[in-house]
Structure 1
Amino acid sequence: MASEREVRVRLRRAGQEHLLRFWAELAPGPRAALLAELAPLEPEALREHCRRAAAACALPPGPSPDLAARLRPLPPERVGSVGRSDPETRRCWEEEGFRQIALNKVAVLLLAGGQGTRLGVAYPKGMYRVGLPSGKTLYQLQAERIRRVEQLAGERRGTRCTVPWYIMTSEFTLGPTAEFFKEHDFFHLDPANVVMFEQRMLPAVTFDGKAILERKDKVAMAPDGNGGLYCALADHQILEDMERRGVEFVHVYCVDNILVRLADPAFIGFCVLRGADCGAKVVEKAYPEEPVGVVCQVDGVPQVVEYSEISPETARLRASDGGLLYNAGNICNHFFTRGFLQMVTRKCEPLLKPHVAVKKVPYVDEEGNLVKPLKPNGIKMEKFVFDVFQFAKNFVAFEVLREEEFSPLKNADPASRDSPCTARQALLAQHYRWALQAGARFLDTHGAWLPQPPSPPLHGDPPAICEISPLVSYSGEGLEVYLQGQQFQSPLILDEDQAKPCTEDEAGETSWPGLFPWCCCSRVQCLC
């Protein structure tokens, strides 16, 4: 380990010697911890990081004045759509996706390094329970979707297959995530196929370019954004691991989307059949000012333009069909070939420009007192995973239905959007629709039929509680055998050990043992 003198000299070269100002007050243990944190920071890189953070923060916010003239929607031939495609086309995409999964050529990669500050929890978001009847966490839902898509692909192709799960964590989330998976027996996945790795951390910086001390013995560090993926892939030889496993296609997604379809066969198949090296799932923007990035072209190059960079006038522009001209909302759900990721990590990563995130960063003042600021006081520099779109030779976008595939968890209740409440409602509304499409009917407490889903789809609480395990159905398939022609009262909880065909008892009544875990009865009858 570097000595105090060596570290002090390096910090002086970086203009950050203040990070050792409480050195004389520290005990041997905290001194060693601080040196261990500071030693890897290269002086030139640290100086440049702090300079760039302060300079970027000083730039005026808002849209670039010439952006509108450089902006264009993606060409139609580069966009596929679930909602606007015929059933045969969708079947072809799915079939190709399942074929690639069955050949063990598909992996999923989870971006899970964030701290969940807005959600207000001190543990990784994937461990969060939004209040589903089953009590399942985001991690469990995602693990079960992997198991189900493996099963579906294997059944179609008559083989056994594996979808490896790579999980990018950070200093904050690696330990708790690893422990959580061990406690839950990796949700019955093979631990050898769950690969966790850590992204880099960067110091938070004051507006005048000084790294922030969080405590007397600790620098305020933050993950380098989901675009830190590319350095992390190289740091931990993840692409080499993929190559050993025969993985050719990687589905990258963000932890907080409760509706995410891991290794989605339709998305994988669409991208493969189009010969894409890079792809993005998008949803149609709900309204012009919706705060989501837009997948489009700038100077003919694909990229995501943040909503804050687009003027209100440009955001409100309409296409010839009456829809928004820039309507492809980014949902952090991407396809990459392994070859493309190898090219990015070897050649293009240094070209990515960090983005400024102004945050409230706790710090110690000159007297060593801990201060929790009431307004933003620091800068965290982040790279974005989608900033590599510009390097793609064949970029495509894949439009999916928001109500089926996108409901993020970002804010604490009682926020009106992107909260535990809205995420729970989205999943239960989806499962209610699936049950009705499979031929189930629901009755209220008086025995009257509850309504079919309206058009547009349900918002808020569905008429009845219905939760269907991913182990039973990945995207609504195969439910007829359990639900067709049956009538239920809320709640209906259909999990793997309960998903068995109805049987008739001695009295001729149809029943499902254990279907309703909240009921005090050991056996609950279908109301047919």
Structure 2
Amino acid sequence: MDIEGLKARLAEANQEHLLKYWDQLSDEEKQQLYAELSHLDFKEINGFFKAAMEDLNSASEKLDDLLEPLPKEVWGGVVETSEADLLQYDIDGLTEIGESRVAVILLAGGQGTRLGVPYPKGMYNVGLPSGKTLYQIQAERLLKLQRLGEKVTGNSCKIPWYIMTSEHTKNATLDFFKKNNYFGLEEEDVVLFEQNLLPCIGFDGKIILEKPHKVALAPDGNGGLYRALNHSGVLKDMEKRGIKYIHVYCVDNILVKMADPIFIGFCLSKGATCGAKVVEKTFPTEPVGVVCKVEGKYQVVEYSEITQKTAEKRDSNGRLVFNAGNICNHFFTLDLLKFVSEPAQEKQMKHHVAKKKIPHVSDKDSKVTIKPDTPNGIKMEKFVFDVFHFATDRSFAVWEVIREDEFAPLKNADTADKDTPTTCRRALLNLHHRYLLAAGAQFVDKDGKVLPPSSEKEDIGGGDCKREDQDVVVECEISPLVSYAGEGLKKLVEDRTFSTPVYLDQDYTMEEPEIVEGEW
């Protein structure tokens, strides 16, 4: 260990305090701290902090005069699009999937802190009748989509699944997939890579020590994707496989349509290198970021940065002018990902600042870790959508989907009002109920009375709406291996009457679906 060299680097960066407890450490702890500090670029970190604090101090400036609504040229949506065009988008997307030119990136570096669990969110079971976790649901959707792509092209195809983890989630995620045999996917097609960690910093610019031998570190945000892609070799792996198009999404959306062929087909029709899937804001002040333009460049603006007057603006059709709610669901070409992941472009992305309560070593007793009651420092992170500003009108696309069909995030424990295991479970069950109704099925209660569609009896509002009726739900689940998005169900359920619960089951070892009715 070159401890004198490290001391010199720390002194130059005004971070000498990181070796404050050096003489108290065991040999093993010294090795750990030395390795951790040796990998940090203190000049770069100090620069990040200075720029982040300057942005934080100017964050109160409203953007109203700079905001522009999305131009019609980049816009499309499920509701406004004809059945013929939707079918063509679907075929075009499935063709690319069938030719093995599509990959999926899952952003799964965050911990389940707000959810109240000590393991990655993807391992969470929201209480579905099948007991499936988010990871299993998503893996099975990929398996089904591969089969749909094969039907269109006649080729045997693969959709490689790249999962960005963090120091906190990588081992648990890898062990979970191994234990479950990758849920039927090929091991070589599930690629885990790790995002970078950044030190947590006090308001005085000093890096925080969590323990005498450990720096307080946090993932660098989902926008850390681009640096991680460059450092991990994932981009080279994609190129080797012949990938051209990539779908990027967050792990916590139970309704996510991974590698959605319609979304891919729409983006291809626009010639887009970058695309965002959005939902319509339910009300002007809904706390969700908005996809729009700022000074001619595409970006996601946080709701807190927009005044109420601007948030309430409506067009001639009565729709909110700034209504494109961001759901972290994106399309990229490989060429764009390669471009934005280069250091010259990646460094242009600013760090966003979150004031946090960061545990730190006690000044009075180095054996004690203090958990503060108020924010004592910041975590710096980048966001995946920060690359939108590299796109032009001719290379950007926005696709609006129906919230109840595609967006129900899992963020909080059931003690909260929204984004909970209960709201996620109900969102999925209600979607599957609607799929079967559209396929010609009918449902009756225990007295034989026909049950109407769930939407007539409740409002679950995927994501940010509170429950109106906590008691009503038709228990109906469909394995993703039976149907990816409602297709192929008519031959199974048309003109049939079911009493709930109903489960259309099929795992990756079964050749035909099985319908289980009235029991689980």
| TM-score (normalizing by structure 2) | 0.94
Residues 128-186 of structure 1 show CA distances to partners (whole Å, capped at 9, x for unaligned) of: 11111111111111100000111011112222111110111111111111111100101
Counterpart for residue 358 of structure 1: 355
Counterpart for residue 482 of structure 1: 492
Paired residues of 2:225 and 2:384 also in contact (CA < 8 A): yes
Quote the offset at 1:94 in angstroms. Answer: 0.6
Paired residues of 2:123 and 2:133 also in contact (CA < 8 A): yes
Counterpart for residue 406 of structure 1: 407
Counterpart for residue 243 of structure 1: 239
Counterpart for residue 476 of structure 2: 466
Distance 1:500 1:163, change over 3 A: closer
Counterpart for residue 432 of structure 1: 433
Indicate the SS of the match to 2:76. strand
Paired residues of 1:15 and 1:47 also in contact (CA < 8 A): no
Indicate the SS of the match to 2:347. helix
Quote the offset at 1:338 in angstroms. Answer: 0.4
Quote the offset at 1:461 in angstroms. Answer: 5.6
State the number of aligned residues. Answer: 504
Paired residues of 2:224 and 2:384 also in contact (CA < 8 A): yes
Counterpart for residue 36 of structure 1: 35
Kindly provide the amino acid, as one letter, of the partner of residue 211 in structure 1: I
Paired residues of 2:255 and 2:407 also in contact (CA < 8 A): yes
Residues 176-197 of structure 1 show CA distances to partners (whole Å, capped at 9, x for unaligned) of: 1111110010111001111110
Counterpart Cα distance in 2 of 1:431 and 1:185: 26
Deviates further, 435-444 or 450-459: 450-459
Counterpart for residue 102 of structure 1: 98
Distance 1:84 1:215, change over 3 A: same
Quote the offset at 1:447 in angstroms. Answer: 2.0
Counterpart Cα distance in 2 of 1:375 and 1:56: 21
Quote the offset at 1:50 in angstroms. Answer: 3.6
Counterpart for residue 158 of structure 2: 162
Counterpart Cα distance in 1 of 2:504 and 2:313: 45
1:89 aligns with 2:99: no
Paired residues of 2:504 and 2:516 also in contact (CA < 8 A): no
Indicate the SS of the match to 1:144. helix
Counterpart for residue 382 of structure 1: 381
Counterpart Cα distance in 2 of 1:382 and 1:456: 41
Paired residues of 2:93 and 2:262 also in contact (CA < 8 A): yes
Counterpart Cα distance in 2 of 1:317 and 1:193: 46
Paired residues of 2:223 and 2:381 also in contact (CA < 8 A): yes
Counterpart for residue 331 of structure 2: 335
Counterpart Cα distance in 2 of 1:499 and 1:286: 42
Paired residues of 1:132 and 1:424 also in contact (CA < 8 A): yes
Counterpart for residue 523 of structure 1: none
Kindly provide the amino acid, as one letter, of the partner of residue 388 in structure 1: V
Deviates further, 195-204 or 374-383: 374-383
Indicate the SS of the match to 2:341. helix
Residues 271-295 of structure 1 show CA distances to partners (whole Å, capped at 9, x for unaligned) of: 1121101000000001111111100
Counterpart for residue 466 of structure 2: none
Q: Give 1:187-202 correspondences, 5 Å limit.
A: 187-202=183-198
Counterpart for residue 506 of structure 1: none
1:312 aligns with 2:314: no
Quote the offset at 1:232 in angstroms. Answer: 0.5
Consecutive unaligned residues in structure 1, runs of 5 or more: 502-511, 519-528
Counterpart for residue 492 of structure 1: 502
Kindly provide the amino acid, as one letter, of the partner of residue 441 in structure 2: A
Quote the offset at 1:115 in angstroms. Answer: 1.6
Paired residues of 1:50 and 1:210 also in contact (CA < 8 A): no
| TM-score (normalizing by structure 1) | 0.92
Residues 294-314 of structure 1 show CA distances to partners (whole Å, capped at 9, x for unaligned) of: 001111211111111111111
Q: Give 1:120-131 correspondences, 5 Å limit.
A: 120-131=116-127
Counterpart Cα distance in 2 of 1:157 and 1:453: 37
Quote the offset at 1:328 in angstroms. Answer: 0.3
Q: RMSD in angstroms over aligned alpha carbons?
A: 1.7
Indicate the SS of the match to 2:373. coil
Quote the offset at 1:49 in angstroms. Answer: 3.1
Distance 1:132 1:53, change over 3 A: same
Counterpart Cα distance in 2 of 1:20 and 1:155: 61
Counterpart for residue 278 of structure 1: 274
Deviates further, 325-334 or 45-54: 45-54
Kindly provide the amino acid, as one letter, of the partner of residue 209 in structure 1: G
Consecutive unaligned residues in structure 2, runs of 5 or more: 461-469
Deviates further, 357-366 or 180-189: 357-366
Kindly provide the amino acid, as one letter, of the partner of residue 156 in structure 1: V
Q: Give 1:170-319 correspondences, 5 Å limit.
A: 170-319=166-315
Kindly provide the amino acid, as one letter, of the partner of residue 383 in structure 1: K
Paired residues of 1:438 and 1:483 also in contact (CA < 8 A): yes
1:14 aligns with 2:13: yes
